[in-house]
Amino acid sequence: MNFTDQEINEIKDHGLTPKQVESQIDLFVNGVPNVKLVAPATTSDGIFKLTEADELKFLDFYEDKKSELDLLKFTPASGAASRMFKKIYQFLEDYDVSKETIAEYLERTGDKHMKVFFTDYEKFPFYNHIIDGFDEETKADENAKKYAFIKTMMSEDGESYGNLPKGLIPFHYYGSYMVTAFEEHLHEAAAYAAKSDKANLHFTVSPEHKEAFAKEFKKIHASVSNTTGVNFDVDYSFQKPETDTVAVTMDNKLYRKGDGSLLFRPGGHGALIENLNDVDADVVFIKNIDNVLVQDQIQNLARSKRILAGLLLEKQAQVFKYAELLEKDTISEGELEELLTFLEEDFSTRIDSGYVDFSVEEKKSYFAELLNRPIRVCGMVKNEGEPGGGPFWVEDESGKVALQIIESAQVNTKDTKQGEIFKNSTHFNPVDIVAGVRNYKGEKYNLLDYVNPDLAFIAYKTDGGNEIKALELPGLWNGAMARWNTLFVEVPLETFNPVKTVNDLLKPSHQAKA
């Protein structure tokens, strides 16, 4: 493809190369291949359901090893809260305070979301904080109070919650004070990712929000440390501009903004594999910013996390033993057969059908390639109808079948068989990952070597009223980790407590005991 000099300069100024942009355009032109689902992963095929004895064993293993390890809690927190308040914005656009009451609006529109919002709005963690600023006349008029509440919540001269990052929205109220999702992650880290009274946390944030996170941390650090007995080392990173992708028109031509310049868009959470690649620890706990529990429930979550970490460490120790034997070429034929059983039974690995005909040297080479990868243990919850991805057996372009986390956008659901497999998924991906990113020598893997670039997404967006196509990089826990060794484990549903819309804060699981 021939770019103009101006285009080449814009591409390079953004940290990209013309070749990278050309490959992005190729994906728009040729389409992103759908994944080929083989079957849903289930507790009888691909998802481990641990016994109580297993859980106690892995808990003990983690506690025994923890003092020797570098631990890190990694939290994607870049997202703005605008989507969380999408229905609220719609209400403010549709409601005319001069012509109808809120009750009349709800009757006219049948808006179920806003009916729930106004029925229980006194349960929001920020309710008292907002109404404390109202005069007595507003407080006495229920319609005026509700409208003032929502205006204060959203307006730029009020709380402006829709413009904040999700991590800085108050999620819980403890009788006299509000706690943000960010603060709850500190309490979590103290409960399962601390060592020697110290916990390390890394948040990926938007550049414009870093100062606000740092300010919030300064405000709460002493209090949370006093409560938990843990000191916190918190750092931040930004999604890299060079992971952005170009936007194109509906006929796959480079899209230009009103000023004539190219439009570059963030590459989605898959871009964060770069950020994850820049941190280093023996055990990395990965969890989304909006998935937090109230503090009297954190110990249940912490137990589950420690179990997953112990499982990772135990399996990793066995992987390291075999990897060292293979590298030093001291592995016996008997140990090769042990390794085959270990991979099949402990990692649900589908062994190459031609393995029986491999020579001993071919077996060693084959196993060395299989073992020399980062490891992730992924908690999975029973599917309760939440939107999002799940665990599946997937066949790749070379015919190899492996466990993957797949989103609906990656599946051709118009294909009856593929649609049926996706619909029959028994479990949901809550993004509850414990990762091992070092090899047996303690060397950090280059995580970019284990990305499947074909597992990108094409999204349809608008810019200034114009329809455009945008490219999202392979998702962080989808294509960006496609070539990791993967273990799926069922975890308790109560450890999954996300906030996708503001009304989720009204659920009993987000109502803290005063």
- Give the C-alpha separation, 166 to 182, whole Å: 8
User: What is residue 387's predicted lDDT score, i.e. its pLDDT?
Assistant: 63
User: What is residue 459's predicted lDDT score, i.e. its pLDDT?
Assistant: 82
Task: Report which of 480, 425, 414 is spatially closest to residue 450, judged by C-alpha positions.
Answer: 480
Q: How many CB atoms lie within 10 A of CB 494?
A: 13
Task: Report which of 183, 188, 161, 157 is spatially closest to residue 172, judged by C-alpha positions.
Answer: 183
User: What is residue 514's predicted lDDT score, i.e. its pLDDT?
Assistant: 63
Each of the 514 residues of the chain gets a pLDDT tens digit; together they read 688 888 889 999 988 999 989 988 988 898 888 899 999 999 999 999 999 999 999 999 999 999 999 999 999 998 778 889 999 999 999 999 999 999 999 999 999 999 999 999 999 999 999 999 999 999 999 999 999 999 999 999 999 999 999 999 999 999 999 999 999 999 999 999 999 999 999 999 999 999 999 999 999 999 999 999 999 999 999 988 888 899 999 999 999 988 889 999 888 888 899 999 999 999 999 999 999 999 999 999 999 999 999 999 999 999 999 999 999 999 999 999 999 999 999 999 999 989 999 999 999 999 999 999 999 999 999 988 766 789 999 998 889 999 999 988 889 989 999 999 999 999 999 999 999 999 999 999 999 999 998 888 888 888 888 899 988 888 899 999 999 999 999 999 999 999 999 999 999 999 998 6
User: What is residue 464's predicted lDDT score, i.e. its pLDDT?
Assistant: 80
229: tokens are: 């007995």
Task: Report which of 288, 333, 220, 271 is spatially closest to residue 76, judged by C-alpha positions.
Answer: 288
195: tokens are: 């060592």
User: What is residue 65's predicted lDDT score, i.e. its pLDDT?
Assistant: 96
For 218, what's the count of Cα atoms within 13 Å in the CB-facing half-sphere? 6
Give CB contacts under 8 A, 24+ apart, made by 216-224.
216/168, 216/180, 216/182, 216/183, 217/182, 220/183, 220/186, 224/183, 224/186, 224/187, 224/190
SS3 316: helix
How does DSSP assign 42-92, residue by residue?
A: BTTBBEE---HHHHHHHHHHHHHHGGGS-EEEEEE---BGGGGGHHHHHHH
User: What is residue 461's predicted lDDT score, i.e. its pLDDT?
Assistant: 85
- Give the C-alpha separation, 49 to 47, whole Å: 6
- Residue pair 373/483 in contact by the 8 Å Cβ criterion: yes
Give residues with Cβ within 8 angstroms of 129, minimum separation 6: 170, 178
150: tokens are: 């929502």
What number of H helices and E strands is found in the chain?
16, 19
User: What is residue 170's predicted lDDT score, i.e. its pLDDT?
Assistant: 97
Q: Where are the domains of the chain?
A: 5-81+256-491+502-510, 82-163
Greatest pairwise CA separation for the chain in angstroms: 86
- Give the C-alpha separation, 331 to 348, whole Å: 22
- Give the C-alpha separation, 38 to 401, whole Å: 8
User: What is residue 88's predicted lDDT score, i.e. its pLDDT?
Assistant: 96
